[in-house]
Chains A and B, each alone.
Chain A
């Protein structure tokens, strides 16, 4: 069973946790605010942990040393990018993905070997494609 750690239990983090959990992944969600765990689906079987994902001690407690993948999805671009680099360069997690809203920063970190997705560019592109398609009847 693949082990995934998600940092940030916002809408995206919680939704992803639900999807992976339903698919049989072993999911741990980390957030500094316990109230954010209300977003997790009621049948969520994974672990929810309160803690700072930039703290190496907390990451160890969350089992980062045995992970298959790490996802950084907090509200802060810089937090995500720093956590992603800790996961990659300190703990050698095999797969690391992070969210970076700022397209320029996303580009820079992509060239530095961090797998980064910019929701800004992805969503803008999606909207453009929708607009160019004919309106459904």
Chain B
């Protein structure tokens, strides 16, 4: 694939190295001439010194034939504009933007950026997995379908411990898909199964019903 990378900072540097290793054709656009020289010295002539948001620069590096454009500068606004120019002026089939402010995820999607990667969100998700005070953990989201897979670890003091699955008043849009008990094998929940303390319950839900699901499972 021919991939244009905007931004040759730390993220751009390692990303480029990995992509080259995978055998892709890579071109980096970087504003800072010194950074540009480092990249060129180390990886061959792969970096052009210029502004990746400018249509002229993008034309110069043949963005019209690019399969993908990845914008990884440290500024959300620059990444947005680079992706939009690539998409609308050069018809690049796939654009990926790094974002700093997680609030921008929705905006970028709405404005046609195909994929957004938010380091803040990724770290937040890891924290949520590690910290026990968040009883409901996001495992995965199907953004196109508007569904997510979440996990709840049953605390011993939950009012629902000892009740059967059919006694839980689950919201209609949420389904329990798997129970991983503290000991023994995982099983697909059936109406008669009893909830035990320490069970990991995996459920599919729409984000809007998350609070209801949490209440139904934890009983408070």
Contact = CB atoms under 8 A, between A and B. Distances in A.
Interface of A: 54-57, 76-79, 81-82, 85-86, 89-90, 102, 104-105, 108, 111-112
Most A C-beta atoms less than 10 A away, residue of B53, B54, B76, B77: B77
6 closest Cβ pairs, A-B complex: A78-B77, A82-B77, A104-B55, A78-B81, A79-B77, A78-B78
A89 B101 CA distance: 17
A81 B77 contact: yes
Given A54-B101, A78-B77, A81-B81, 4 more contacts: A54-B77, A55-B103, A77-B81, A78-B80
Interface in B104-124: 104, 106-107, 110-111
Given A81-B77, A104-B55, A56 B89 contact: no
A105 B54 CA distance: 7
B160 interface: no
B168 interface: no
Interface of A is mostly: helix
B101 to A, nearest CB: 7
Interface of B is mostly: helix
Contact of A108 (B78, B84, B104): B84
A114 to B, nearest CB: 10
B101 A112 contact: no
B89 A90 contact: no
Interface string B67-79: 0000000011110
A69 to B, nearest CB: 20
16 contacts: A55-B101, A55-B103, A56-B103, A77-B53, A78-B77, A78-B78, A78-B80, A78-B81, A82-B76, A82-B77, A85-B80, A89-B107, A90-B107, A104-B56, A111-B88, A112-B84
A112 B89 CA distance: 11
A108 B80 contact: no
B85 interface: yes
Given A85-B111, A89-B110, A105 B53 contact: yes
